[in-house]
Amino acid sequence: MKPRIGITASLGQLDGRLRVHVPAAYVEAVAGAGGAAVILAPADEAAAGNALDAVHGLLLTGGDDLDPRLWGEPPHPKSVIIDPRRQRWDMRLIAVADERRLPVLGICLGCQELAVSRGGRLIQHVPDEKGGAADHGGGGRPRAIHTAEILPGSLLASFVGAGVLDVNSTHHQAIREPGRGLRIVARSPDGIIEGVEDPAPDRFFLGVQWHPEDLCDQPPHRALFQALCRVASDIRAIHD
């Protein structure tokens, strides 16, 4: 039996109807790593526990911006805030998964959500604070390519390797403060936080600011999904 990986989804209008959508690259990345994707469509927060009963790991996908009122700031003029139903749902999923010690991988927005869930704060618009910053692709596709320095001895380094890694990105927000119990494990050359993790033993609570799902043809990026599925498989063996 394959480990089931819950994948968060966005809400948006298409043809006049509200729809749930997930980029196929996330589903393909999980399938390619040996997992079975389960889409966790936004629902009532009270259902988060039941939703997580059905999976062995959680993948937090990218999307628009978190509401900065979560950390006590007014929105920036360039903020494009995600649907509040998704925000409430994602944050509750993270809280329950964290409590249950399920493996969690956060990507781009998902990485930022991990930080905020632990009381962290974000930079709302990178160009305002990082003059001469690397191109992080805030204007959208094609995704920018730059480098990230991966901290030796980190969980992240055990998957992708320590040192310099070529990464991609499309974001204008970034983590300012990682929050309780999280350490910074990757930065771009301009100082932007590119990775955070909980360093506690036997934890897989990891976020990356780039988009490895679009780089799964490269072993370091594919390794992130393989690691998530491997840890989730161990959870499945214990509980199923």
Which active-site residues does the annotation give? 108, 211, 213
d(C-alpha 65, C-alpha 113), whole Å? 10
Cβ 7 vs Cβ 37: under 8 Å = yes
Query: 228 by DSSP, 3-state: which?
Result: helix
Whether the ω angle into residue 152 lies within 30 degrees of 0, i.e. cis, is no
Nearest to 210 by CA among 218, 198, 202: 218
Reduced to 3 states (helix: H, G, I; strand: E, B; else coil), residue 41 is: coil
DSSP state of 71: G
What residues are paired with 149 via a beta bridge?
Answer: 164, 187
